[in-house]
Amino acid sequence: MSRFFAAKRVRKPEDVIPFLAKGKRHWRKGYSAYELAYSWVGAEGFPNTVRSLLDSVPEFRNAEIVQAYFEKETDLKTKGRDSQTDLLVHARSPMTDFIIGVEGKVDEPFGELVSAWNTGIPTRVARLGSLCASLELDPGAVDDLRYQLLHRTCAAIYEAQAYGCHHAVMLVHSFSREKRWLDDFRNFCSALSLADNVENQLSSPISRGGVSLRLGWVSDLPR
């Protein structure tokens, strides 16, 4: 397995375009890649809404970005495609280092329901079993969850493990005026036995794979 990667410094939002799955076709005002890049790169750090969210947790207060990678691919430890996180942030506060996996959303759903994605082929059954083991979920009880939420959350955990961080956040940064797909996210939180009132706040922590994991949703307006 290759351990070599290529990347370039992002100095302005448009520098993200070459790394998008469909290049310029994914780069449109009002779409998640565009809104996320302008929100974060334009802020030259944490957007104000995200900063407020992090400062609500003592361990994350006054954090700064060490490095952040757009379209970060994470090996999910089973056959199949890597998880490609919209923005993977290595952050550091006075108390700890931590990882934030940011999923940008406007109107796009969180992919297929597990019931639709799991076609029963061995590689998918194996992947679902592995993801559920990492999240301590029953593979037979996740059909009504969105597959993307499973693997993005696992990606945040795996990246925290790789960085030697004991804390990870899976954060949805929404730019939807209608707050589309918030109910799907709440359903996922409930499956993890977390309170589902996660809009503009972070959940309580749960331990997964030696990592203290929190979920959160922050709402912003599009440009």
Profile the chain (223 residues) by mean pLDDT over runs of 10 residues. Answer: 57 76 65 88 90 97 94 94 95 98 93 97 98 98 98 98 98 94 96 92 97 97 85
What pLDDT is recorded for position 151?
98
Domain that holds residue 174: 15-111+148-219
> 101 in a domain, yes or no?
yes
3-state SS, residue 143:
coil
| Residue 92 counted as domain residue | yes
Residue 134 covered by a domain: no
Q: Is residue 155 part of a domain?
A: yes
Please tell me the predicted confidence (pLDDT) of residue 22. 59
Within a domain: residue 83?
Answer: yes
Q: What is d(CA 219, CA 176) in angstroms, rounded to the nearest whole number?
A: 7
Q: Virtual CA dihedral for 156, 21, 33, 162, nearest 10 degrees?
A: 20
Please check whether residue 120 lies inside any domain of the structure. Answer: no
What's the pLDDT at 207? 98
The verdict on residue 117 lying in a domain is no
Q: What are phi and psi of 119, to 5 degrees?
A: -80, 0
Number of structural domains the chain divides into: 1
Determine, yes or no, domain membership for 138.
no
Measured CA to CA, the distance from residue 15 to residue 38 in angstroms comes to 11
pLDDT of the residue at 30: 64
* Coil vs helix vs strand at 151: helix
